Chain A
Amino acid sequence: MTTLELQEELAKLYNKNASHIAEDTSELINKHRQQAFEDFKRLGIPSKKNEDYRYTDLMSYLKGEYSYEIAPSKFSVDLDDLFRCDIPELDTFIVLVLNGFYYKQNNPVGLPEGVIISSFAKASIQYPEIVNRHYAKYADTKLDSLAALNTLFAQDGIFIYIPKNIKIDKPIQIINIGFSFKNLRITRRNLFVIEQDSSASLLICDHTLCPRSFITNSLTEIYTGDNASFNVIRMQNENGNSSQISNTFVYQEANSRFSSNTISLHGGLIRNNTFAKLNGEGALNKTYGIFFGDNDQHVANYTHIHHAKPHCESDQLFKGILDGNSTGAFNGKILVDKFVVKTQAYQRNNNILLSKTARMNTKPQLEIYNDDVKCSHGATVGQLDENALFYLRSRGISNQEARHLLMYAFADEVIADIKLDPLRQRMNEMIEKRLRGELARCENCKVHHLGN
């Protein structure tokens, strides 16, 4: 299958189902589809000739037979019984998304007044003003065809709204589930709006529940108002047959603080594109990630941090551990506009290759159009430190254990940034299991026990 054939197939799929796809979303959403369709047709599926996808061979993961569901899946199993995430001492407002659709239309209870956590489709009808103010405002469908594709097919996902002056201590948690009896294409669309002087943290867990292949196209738009604070921790843990392309667009107002920590634990293809626009003075952006690859997995992180106003700071840190035939890519772009002075922008990407066949491509891309900027970037690709390894072994620690300690330590720099103690602990446990080659799963999360 060529990129063109896939493009035609998807266009056909849309044309056939257009009216159904637009059925449950409001006109605010639907009015963007036509433009997205044109963008998608013009841009096509990115091939390796596309500079941004040079190291991500999308087609080798996206080809094949996949079904598409234009309505929420119906199962006879009791999902409430299955989806029980109990990270000790971590109490969250929890919502579930099954194959791209909000699962059960009842919102979490006990939310502070005015806070909304709901289905994206439903929100587009119930809260048109908020949705209209933000939807498709940050995601540029002209730049990325997969963003265009998402806007074309967007039906559901999660909508979060935190009004002014609200600080939610209890984290919000979204569990994205892939579960099907057939290989499935999934589209997910999220919109998170954190208004002025508010703060919240969000945990996103991506799981597949069965060994079927899933191709997920996920797009999230995030708005942080003046002096707002939003922290997103994401754990991507899908089966090795599945592909996930995630576009995240962040728009930050003055003095807002946005941080993300993406833990790509497992998956066939994981491609994360993060676009951030720092559009108010004093905004702070932290984009962190740690990824693991083995077998034939591919993990790619693309960032695009745009400093559009002076006195902002951005900090990127991505670390990767690759084994087997896995491949990874990091492309970190920092764009600082003219007259955007007193900018601080940092970027670092460190990678460890555990096998001779694992490969990593890393590329910093700095475009800076003024002189009053503090900026640094660095990238390394290497093996485990032989001196450190010998030091540990000389104390009686086995070679294998010493390697685990060093890999774990390598990951720690990213994980240490997670502020929620129970969650950080859980992530550490998951990573430790992952490094030991055990199936990384939360002990009590019943989600996994069905599929594997």
Chain B
Amino acid sequence: MLNIKNLHVAIEGKEILKGIDLTVKLGEIHAIMGPNGSGKSTLAAVLAGRDLYEVTEGEVTFEGEDLLELSPEDRARKGIFLGFQYPVEIPGVSMVNFMKTAINEQRKFNNLQPISATDFLKLMREKKEVVEITSNLTNRSVNEGFSGGEKKKNEIFQMAMLDPKLAILDETDSGLDIDALRIVANGVNKLRREDNATIVITHYQRLLEHIIPDYVHVLYRGKIVKSSGKELALELEEKGYDWLKEE
């Protein structure tokens, strides 16, 4: 479904991604690991359509369509979801209004009528359970005053609400205690199906104890330097990233 070929990306003239190749198929979970500053978050942001970055070379297709031509909102409507490393606080925009707007924009894109109030509330209730959110989100502003764990749970909650084809989770494990990590990972696992796919970006191996990837890629200095099965994650945990630098 996702094909990345020779992707080069720069920010303010500085090249960050230096030729990425990656293919993701339906039903797969890919983990992208790598030391800080290797370009992991840049890759996630470029796939979601952040315009701070300039694609200087290469191509990305999603379900056969040129992804780089699309606006962030169109990418989302076609089924791409980015779980933010640092979810943004938006005071004054309620979670309910935010989610309702997002769902209805997606429905409009698919030529569907806006969701009814009762169906929407039902959906909210259902999806809150996926990430064990017990608090009342209805009146809260988007991420405002949320703890680190709540913010990450909220990302997976939004993912559950929007039911994407491809979810890209950027450092979803960072800043989580062990309980929150388990809840977030369970959420992702519950949402896993044969007709969707997930890219998990992480620095540490511990998330991958809960979300078992089919492939692990190591990103280093803007390039994927190694790809293998899930055992690669363990090897990285054991040896660190230094041995790769030598290879």
Please give the residue numbers on chain A whose beta carbons come within 8 Å of chain B beta carbons, in ascending order. Answer: 385, 387-388, 390-399, 401-402, 405-406, 408-413
Given known A390-B72, A405-B98, contact A395–B158 (CB-CB < 8 A): yes
Contact of A394 among B82, B92, B106 (CB under 8 A): B82
Contacts of A409 in B (CB 8 A): 90-93, 141
Question: B112: CB under 8 A from chain A?
Answer: no
Contacts of A395 in B (CB 8 A): 76, 98, 102, 158, 162
Contact of A405 among B77, B101, B162 (CB under 8 A): B101
Is A391 touching B105 in the complex (CB atoms < 8 A)? no
| CB proximity to A under 8 Å, residues B108-158 | 109, 141-142, 158
Q: For the complex, would chain A's binding face be called helix, strand, loop or mixed by DSSP majority?
A: helix
Contacts of B158 in A (CB 8 A): 395
Is B102 touching A396 in the complex (CB atoms < 8 A)? yes
Given known A391-B84, A391-B90, A413-B92, contact A396–B71 (CB-CB < 8 A): no
A396 to chain B, nearest CB (A): 4
A392 to chain B, nearest CB (A): 7
Question: B73: CB under 8 A from chain A?
Answer: yes
Contacts of B49 in A (CB 8 A): 393-394
B110 to chain A, nearest CB (A): 11
How far is A282 from B228 in the complex, measured between Cα atoms in Å? Answer: 71
Is A396 touching B162 in the complex (CB atoms < 8 A)? yes
How far is A397 from B70 in the complex, measured between Cα atoms in Å? Answer: 13
Given known A405-B97, A405-B101, contact A397–B73 (CB-CB < 8 A): yes
Is A398 touching B105 in the complex (CB atoms < 8 A)? yes
How far is A398 from B102 in the complex, measured between Cα atoms in Å? Answer: 9
Is B93 touching A394 in the complex (CB atoms < 8 A)? no
Residues 21-55 of chain B, each 1 if its beta carbon lies under 8 Å from chain A, else 0? 00000000000000000000000000011100000
| CB proximity to A under 8 Å, residues B143-180 | 158, 162
Not counting A394-B49, A394-B75, a sample of 9 additional A-B residue pairs whose C-beta atoms are within 8 angstroms of each other reads A391-B84, A392-B93, A393-B71, A394-B72, A395-B102, A396-B162, A405-B90, A405-B98, A409-B90
Give B97's nearest chain A residue, CB to CB.
Answer: A405
Is B73 touching A393 in the complex (CB atoms < 8 A)? yes
Give B159's nearest chain A residue, CB to CB.
Answer: A395
A18 to chain B, nearest CB (A): 52
Residues 60-86 of chain B, each 1 if its beta carbon lies under 8 Å from chain A, else 0? 000000000001110111000110100
Given known A394-B48, A395-B76, A396-B77, contact A412–B71 (CB-CB < 8 A): no
How far is A413 from B93 in the complex, measured between Cα atoms in Å? Answer: 11
Contacts of B82 in A (CB 8 A): 394
How far is A393 from B158 in the complex, measured between Cα atoms in Å? Answer: 13
